[in-house]
Homo-oligomer: A and B are copies of this chain.
Amino acid sequence: MLSEHLLAEMGRLAAQGDLPLHRQLYEALRRAVLDGKLGAGDRLPSSRDLAHDLDLSRNTVVAALGQLTVEGYLVSHVGSGTYVHEHVPQPGVRPRAGQAAPDARLSRRGEALAHQHRARDLEIQPFTPGVADFSAFPIALWQRLQNKHWRSAQPEMLDYNDSGGHGPLRRAVADYLRVFRSVRLDADQVLITSGTQQSLELCAHLLADNGDTVWLEDPAYWGAVKAFTATGLAIHPVPVDDEGMAPSAADEAHPPRLIYVTPSHQYPTGAVMSLARRQQLLACAARCQAWVLEDDYDSEFRFSGPPISSLEGLDTEGRVLYMGTFSKMLYPGLKLGYLVVPKALVAAFKGAHYDLNRPGQMPLQAALAEFIEMGHFASALRRARQTYAERRQKLVDALAPVLHSGQGRIHGAAQGLHLCLRLPACADDRALAQQAAQRGLTVRPLSAYCLQRQDLRGLAIGYGYAAPALIDRYGRQLAELVAQGLGRG
């Protein structure tokens, strides 16, 4: 009996949530049609009869039938009644919810993105490279600043932002970069983005076409590989040595449209690009008419001496786009970073940033601006440098057996959140990383960052997250494991 079926279904729906009666009836009837309880062409009882059988007001029934008629499930013939429409789907061909199409497949770039997908072992445990310790982030202060800006929020603070970011934040970033990073800029050149991935995609979309070549450091930062894969660029790997990216004449046979570099602290090797190399790279970019994307990765966390000046600050032709993030300094989920573009590109970048990304989170941007202006950023930076310098030293001490044996050496500058332990070319660094993983330690094999070259072996070991005592204990375990692994090799 239809009415019994409908009543049962309505009862089930009522138990699920706060649906009005007419909506319950609508859903029950709709499902009856889709499940084949009511077939194409079937005549429905009159609204009067349905109201009586279901103990509903006639208005309720009329509302439900009306909606189903509007949607095309039912058709009403004046004087003759209401029928199930002949176009309703045939029952029996409906597979279970969420089942994938038989030909479910990703696109080629989708497969590449899924296949390259290597950065997700995010379970935080000792030595995951690139992870900062945000346990000391001053949450109470942060809440206070956020609340202040929420309380006084004008409507535009809740809207999208089309001016490249919150004005005071752009000015605060410009002041910081001018003084501490020797970047030459006006606040107008600063775009607030959701971080380095968004900055890279924006550059790739606006400055390169599908199939254009981008030079990447080899070994490379995975996030950049992903961003350039997604945006359709052809990746040409250029080897990194102790002075950073080292392009040869052979590389110039693959002229780049973009050159992506991490000159302050190359990820993952830790190399700092020398002044001579910086000048060579800029000259090479000029010859190739390429844009240089400077990811000033980890520059904040230099432990000895002031941070090394930016590539942008040396640029004589305005070819450098400079980017950084607040994720490492404050907390990753903040999702705020910055991109500095040459003046001639500001309008195009602002417009595309708005159109592609619809930036928002203005109360958060306002809180961050004030956090910087009040000096909290600078003092967090000082504390963080000290914290990470100590942790790095703890790790170096724990790794002493490997270092003293002459089998491993620490590569790159004393900077950042990780160090690169270089191992002999015969070492199986992937096997070592797997063995470490079995003991609950996340280290990354240097060979896994290599795009083309086969000569590098080592481990990227993060010291950012774990407390010193843990670094000491687990660092010794790691050293033992490496020594054993090399002994076997």
Interface positions of A (Cβ within 8 A of B) = 13, 16-19, 22-23, 26-27, 30, 34, 63, 66-67, 70-73, 85, 87-89, 93-95, 97-104, 106-110, 113-114, 116-117, 119-120, 122, 124, 134-135, 137, 139, 142-143, 146-147, 150-151, 153, 155-162, 175, 179, 182, 184-186, 189, 194-195, 197-198, 201, 205-212, 222-223, 226-227, 230, 232, 257, 272, 274-276, 279, 286, 289, 291, 305-306, 308-309, 314, 316-319, 331-335, 342-345, 347-348, 351-352, 354-363, 375, 378
Lowest 4 CB-CB distances: which A-B pairs, in order? A72-B275, A100-B344, A333-B360, A97-B184
B101 and A331 contact, CB distance less than 8 A: no
A109 and B276 contact, CB distance less than 8 A: no
Extra pairs beyond A98-B343, A197-B356 (12, CB < 8 Å):
A19-B179, A30-B309, A70-B308, A72-B274, A94-B316, A101-B286, A106-B348, A107-B208, A114-B348, A134-B155, A143-B150, A159-B332
Partner of A343, one of B99, B279, B351: B99
For the complex, give the distance between the alpha carbons of A110 and B210 in Å: 11
Partner of A206, one of B113, B160, B309, B343: B113
For the complex, give the distance between the alpha carbons of A316 and B98 in Å: 9
The residue among A156, A160, A195, A319 with the most chain B CB atoms within 10 A of its own CB is A160
Given contacts A158-B331, A332-B160, contact A27 B230 (CB under 8 A): no
B317 and A102 contact, CB distance less than 8 A: yes
Partner of A352, one of B63, B113, B186, B356: B113
The residue of chain B having its C-beta at the shortest distance from the C-beta of A363 within the complex is B333
For the complex, give the distance between the alpha carbons of A279 and B87 in Å: 8
Q: Which residues of B contact A66 (CB under 8 A)?
A: 305
The residue of chain B having its C-beta at the shortest distance from the C-beta of A205 within the complex is B230
B67 and A306 contact, CB distance less than 8 A: yes
A98 and B318 contact, CB distance less than 8 A: yes
B206 and A110 contact, CB distance less than 8 A: yes
User: Could you list 20 A-B pairs, sorted by A, with CB under 8 Å?
Assistant: A17-B175, A18-B378, A26-B306, A30-B182, A70-B272, A71-B308, A89-B314, A89-B316, A100-B342, A107-B205, A107-B207, A114-B352, A119-B355, A137-B158, A158-B333, A194-B357, A201-B356, A223-B358, A333-B363, A335-B359
Q: Which residues of B contact A106 (CB under 8 A)?
A: 206-207, 345, 348
The residue of chain B having its C-beta at the shortest distance from the C-beta of A85 within the complex is B275
Partner of A355, one of B101, B120, B157, B332: B120
B113 and A355 contact, CB distance less than 8 A: yes
Q: Which residues of B contact A211 (CB under 8 A)?
A: 210
For the complex, give the distance between the alpha carbons of A222 and B210 in Å: 21
For the complex, give the distance between the alpha carbons of A209 and B100 in Å: 20
Q: Which residues of B contact A88 (CB under 8 A)?
A: 275
Q: Which residues of B contact A87 (CB under 8 A)?
A: 275-276, 279
Given contacts A184-B98, A316-B89, A335-B360, contact A205 B343 (CB under 8 A): no
User: What distance in Å separates the Cβ of A84 from its nearest Cβ neighbour in chain B?
Assistant: 11
The residue among A26, A66, A89, A291 with the most chain B CB atoms within 10 A of its own CB is A89
A195 and B117 contact, CB distance less than 8 A: no
Q: Which residues of B contact A272 (CB under 8 A)?
A: 70
User: What distance in Å separates the Cβ of A283 from its nearest Cβ neighbour in chain B?
Assistant: 10
User: What distance in Å separates the Cβ of A192 from its nearest Cβ neighbour in chain B?
Assistant: 12
